[in-house]
Amino acid sequence: MKTELARVLPADIEKRSMEIITAELGERPLAADTADIVKRVIHATADFDYADSLVFSPGAAAAGVAALLAGATIVTDTNMALAGVSRPACEKLGAAARCFMAEPEIAEAARKNGTTRAAASMEYAARHLSGPLIFAVGNAPTALVRLCELIGDGSLSPSLVIGVPVGFVNVVESKELLLSLDTPHIVARGRKGGSSVAAAICNALLYRASGRTL
């Protein structure tokens, strides 16, 4: 059975989606230096609430782009977010994306210290990675809290922290903790977020750094 839906070529789907998003945003004001990120998140979620809930510290997007141009490593708290980060864009910039959640030593460290694997993976990244770091937390508030603790005690100084965990338990509190820090950050205030949001923000920064436009 054939349908009467409009025929859109695969290469034009993203372009048409962005046109729809721009039209539906209407006169809603978006800052020029963050509009592409907001639209990328809306594109990934079909949720226009992010036009209001995404919070950017001053210069956060520029800090993320500069880090990627310097070959930063993006550290995610889930393999789902890792899978969503554009590998071609990373390779073009000489950047990398990593997730340590499935490493055997992470499970052992979490068991030994009575923490979550997500928190243990942040500690592992802080100890073992060098160079510019971008942390993208889309699922686990425990990971975001541990990052804030490491930053607070001087053990970690990332180029950017993307704090967009989703859920109900300690989610809002973990985001507010990040918002209280001077570290460059992008936060989705409230309960919404997720791995797809974290990946979308990373990709928006990667695309900007590589010169790709919406």
Domains recognised in the chain with CATH numbers: 12-18+31-210 (3.40.50.10230)
Cβ atoms of 81 and 139 closer than 8 Å? yes
Average pLDDT, the chain: 94
- Residue 4 in this model has a pLDDT that exceeds 70: no
Catalytic residues: 43
Global pTM reads: 0.94
Query: What mean pLDDT do residues 77-89 have?
Result: 97
**CA 77/CA 56 separation, integer angstroms:** 20
pLDDT tens-digit map of 145-166: 999 999 999 999 999 999 999 9
Query: What mean pLDDT do residues 115-121 have?
Result: 95
